[in-house]
Amino acid sequence: MSQAPLGRACAAVLRRDLTLAWRRRGDIAMPVLYALIVTTLFPFALGPENALLQRIAGGAVLVTVLLAMLLALDGMFRSDIEDGSLEQLVLAPQPLALMLGMKILAHWLTTALPLIVIAPMLASMLQLPAAAMPVMMLALALATPMLSLLGAVLVALTAGTRRSGMLLALMLLPLCVPVVIFAAGALAAAQQGLPWIAPIAWLGAALALALVLAPLACAAALRIALDA
Amino acid sequence: MSSWIPLWLHKLGSPPTFYRFAGKLRPWMLALAIVLGLVALYGGLVLAPPDYQQGDDYRIIFVHVPSAWMGLFIYGVMAVSAFIALVWRIKLAEVVAMESAPIGAAFTLITLVTGSLWGVRMWGTWWTWDARLTSELVLLFLYLGVIGLYHAFEDRRQGARAAAFLALIGIINVPIVHFSVNWWNTLHQGSTVRLFGPSTMTDSMIWPLLTMMVATKCYYVFSLCSRVRADLLALEGGKDWVRQIAAGESAR
Amino acid sequence: MNQFLAMGGYAVYVWPAYAVFLVVLLADALAPVLRRRRVLRELRGRLARQAARQQRHADTPTDA
């Protein structure tokens, strides 16, 4: 049996996941809709004063995006576990970490990217000043892959269990505390006109580390959770 | 086979031997914990003079600080045995890691509640987003995640391995959380109050604190022993040595 | 004694803190005792059922 070259295997996994996501377009819209609903509720709960909304806008958008991602995280490997294709992937000759990395990339493209695209709209609904907008996009662009990578490790760990929704949130919270702190910190600094490079740089460093380590950890976790 | 590991350590790793060993160790540790705890309480509540700034309120320190230390210490123990369990697949290490988690969570909970009781007068509010208190809350969530993941699996050993992996991710996360929470706290100018400087603690306050610390360590060993014993009985239900114990206890 | 119990006016904070410490640790100490008892009881039940089944199997051939 000849082994498919690595590049083609990666592309095949990515294409398969994107095709599957495209066939269920309604699921892609769900997190976006959820983020929109949550953002709409904030002014109703806090009152419509612009000054107050402006102060909380950055943090509110970040937390909303995080929760919307958490909503979609649960389904990252579910259909693959149900139809057994994840076990095939584990048995495949290609390195599992790389294949999982591709799956995480596909998941990020289908859930986080739409959220990043509508984030400016959500932020302007909450009166975030236009000057802080680029920093918010940068923070989101660095924070959402982090969350996808960290979330994937935890989803892999819960792969062998039946109920995982609330448990996943409980497990993710301690891991995403630093991400939220630095992303929101950069945003708050930008809003106050302070230098915001340092927290963004920390986020970038953490993302570089997670890009290398998380797929490996994800593969190890999946091996633990799948073999009985 | 590594020859540098002494034979008795190999033997201790077998469940029936450890069961007997833990049974012998347990009452001694409990006695030591109670005696040292009472001495520390007497020293802390009666002998130590009131603090010149905080009055008698500071006496919460004698349960708060040892509990906080234990919360971190038990997480360390859990992570080390989780590592051993994942690398060498020793059943006993899995059990020790998983049975440490509830004790650690209990100590972390005590730390949070006593810290909040102390905070009422220190900060004038039950809860404040002080760096240390927040880190402690995140630690509690880490413990709860490990416990929750362990119980989500139907197969106990598989659950133990998955939760052990989570505990290892957590131990990498703890310093990152601590660092980021500190950074966040300085950013937002939180109401951090130095609870005690190095010079304000006198000897009469320090010795009850250290005694209590030793007492909580002894208590941890005691609790771990009883938990591991109960868990080994449940895990090894089909084995002969467990049947003998079950038969022996029904005779009494 | 009363002065000791009053804790210089902070009794409301000091004593609950100690009570929480003792109650949580007591609960933590009792949990494994109860669990051990339950595990052994279930095990004895299983063994008794197994013995009864073996007894029945031993009896059937002589009846037939």
pLDDT in tens, B80-107: 999 999 998 888 999 999 999 999 999 9
Q: Smallest Cβ distance to B110: which of C4, C24, C36?
A: C24
Mean model confidence pLDDT for chain A? 88
Average pLDDT across chain B, whole number: 84
pLDDT-derived band at B2, boundaries 50, 70, 90: low
Chain A positions touching B145 (Cβ under 8 A) are 167, 170-171, 173-174
Domain that holds residue A101: 6-226
Task: Give the DSSP per-residue string, A167-195.
Answer: HHHHHHHHHHHHHHHHHHHHHHHHHTT--
- Look up the pTM and report it: 0.88
Residue B112 pLDDT class (50, 70, 90 cuts): very high
Contact residues, B window 68-127, toward C, CB-based 8 Å cutoff: 102-103, 106, 109-110, 113-114, 117-118, 120-121
Provide, as residue numbers in chain B, all residues whose Cβ is less than 8 Å from the Cβ of A154. 166
At residue A25, the pLDDT reads 84
Average pLDDT, chain C: 82
Residue type, position B161, single letter = R
Q: Find which of A10-19, A210-219, B6-15 is predicted with most confidence, using mean pLDDT.
A: A210-219
The predicted pLDDT at position A191 comes to 85
Structural domain count, chain A = 1
Look at B140-144, B178-182, B219-223 and tell me which has the smallest mean pLDDT.
B178-182
Does A1 fall in a domain? no
How crowded is the C-beta side of C60, counted as CA atoms within 13 Å? 5
Q: Which of B52-56, B75-79, B138-142 has the lowest mean pLDDT?
A: B52-56
- Using CB atoms, pick whichever of B142, B148, B180 lies closest to residue A182: B180
Q: Is B51 helix (H, G, I), strand (E, B) or coil?
A: strand
Least confident range of A3-7, A59-63, A167-171, B194-198: B194-198
User: Cβ distance B230 to B24 under 8 Å?
Assistant: no
C residues 2-61 closer than 8 Å to B (CB): 4, 7-10, 13-14, 16-18, 20-21, 24-25, 27-29, 31-33, 35-36, 39-40, 43-44, 46-47
User: Contact B113/C40, CB-based, under 8 Å?
Assistant: no
Minimum mean pLDDT among A127-131, B200-204, C15-19: which range? B200-204
> Which residues in B128-153 are b (16+ Cβ under 10 Å) and which e?
bebbbbbbbbbbbbbbbbbbbbbebb
In angstroms, rounded to a whole number, what is the distance separating the alpha carbons of residues C36 and B23? Answer: 13
CB-based contact C13 B57, cutoff 8 Å: yes
